[in-house]
Amino acid sequence: MANDLVSASEAQTTLGLGAADTDLTALVDQVVARFAAECGREDAPFRTTQTARTERIDGVRRGTIHTAYPISALTSVKLGYDSTDPDETLDVADPDVIQIVAGTNRIARVDGGIFGPSVIGHESRFPGYVQVVYNAAADLPLDAKRACLREIARIWRQRGAEDAAGEGFGGIRTDLSLAVDPTWKDAVAMHRRIHL
């Protein structure tokens, strides 16, 4: 899985380490992958900008579809099972056909058409597919980065004490097995994708 959300050098700086460490790099990738999994984003990890990203989306028989990432520029939208021989190619430059709001992942047909077949049956080549080519805007939320860096630091600092059940300081005791960073919990809740 591509990891653009947190770099090993950012984790190194957060931890105040002087030299790079392969264990730290592996930990960074594991934590970011776990965050993506808890958010339901294994197929769309947090990324920097992408040029000419191509997605194939199931036809939904509605007037709107959603891409995996925010759109900075829409290049093409083709409908049909075979994108080399599409049933329909939409004019993405015509605001009377397609509308998007830059920075969002929503594409709307405003010409009265839908994404997907209008008739269910063999002649409609159901299921319908939509191939979207677009430039994706960066999707690197600061709260997600912060949550991952905090989790990386927590795990890194506990190395060697993995079997400890708790820790105490100044009369305050924390059960490590139950400790969940609220920053992590809030960021997962904010960025969780619900698959319909």
Give this prediction's pTM. Answer: 0.77
Question: How many Å apart are CA 28 and CA 47, to the nearest integer?
Answer: 15
Question: How many Å apart are CA 82 and CA 175, to the nearest integer?
Answer: 56
The string of DSSP letters for 72-110 reads EEEEEEEESS-TTS-SEEE-TT-TTTEEE-TTS-EEEE-
- CA max distance for the chain: 74
pLDDT in tens, the chain (196 residues): 678 999 999 999 999 998 778 899 999 999 999 999 999 999 889 999 999 999 999 877 889 999 999 999 999 999 988 888 888 899 999 999 999 998 999 999 999 988 876 555 545 554 578 999 999 999 999 999 999 999 999 999 988 755 555 555 566 655 555 567 899 999 999 999 875 4
Domain extents for the chain? 8-45+140-191, 50-136
